[in-house]
Amino acid sequence: MKKMNIENPFFDFMGRVGDVMLLNLFFLIFSLPVITMGASFAALYQSFEDMENGEFVSAFRNFTRAWKRYLKTGIGAGAVLFLTGALLLFDLSFLGGIKGNGTWGMVSIGVGCLTVIWEMVFGYVFPVMLTGEKRLKKLFGRSFLLAVRNLPVTIVMAFLNSGFIICFAAGGELLVLAAPVYLVFGFGLTVYADTLLLKRCSRRIQINA
């Protein structure tokens, strides 16, 4: 009888699934103060980049090390993103209940455009942060330029990243179904997918530029 080879693709896949779930758990725990959510997102991206580069030691070690490294910048960037995002979400909810043309119609279009820009920038802020950029103005500026320059990739990333926001805004049964998924592995899987997408398109997407 042949011995089981723990290095076969199945065990490698199951190990990767376990790491995604653990990183998702650490993301949720370290995001509990809310203001640290930006640092937690950056730590997720860094952990998955380490994983792809063969520098991954363990979920806890890689995540906590990255979380400490990006804590200060992550708090600032996260505050900007999540406060503006919450404001846009509130505006969309408010305007969605108003049926009108003229001024309200123009306001709705404006808010919609700002929401699209927010979604585009969100996908690049934390990957750019991994380059060591600490100035918020330049961080967001570079993220916007990358988003525009690589629009097809940006659209795919925006679709992936907006999953939980859509479920949260919809509420009801959709939120009830989505909540357990995101609590177990949803955030980690989304960031991992973003990391793989950026890696596969690295020839066209120069984060360090």
CA distances from 137 to 76, 133, 159 (A): 11, 10, 25
pLDDT digit string (tens) for 31-50? 999 999 999 999 999 999 99
pLDDT digit string (tens) for 145-193? 999 999 999 999 999 999 888 887 777 888 888 899 999 999 999 999 9
Tally of CB atoms within 10 A around 68: 11
DSSP-H helix ranges across the chain: 9-30, 37-52, 59-69, 71-96, 103-129, 136-149, 151-161, 163-170, 172-181, 187-200
Angle between helices 187-200 and 103-129 (to 10 degrees): 70
Amino acid identity at 1: M
For the chain, the structural domain boundaries read 16-84+116-200
pLDDT digit string (tens) for 88-119? 988 887 777 676 566 777 888 888 899 999 99
Where residue 34 falls (left for φ over 0; alpha for ψ -120 to 50; beta otherwise) is left
pLDDT class of 3 with cuts at 50, 70, 90: very low
pLDDT class of 10 with cuts at 50, 70, 90: confident
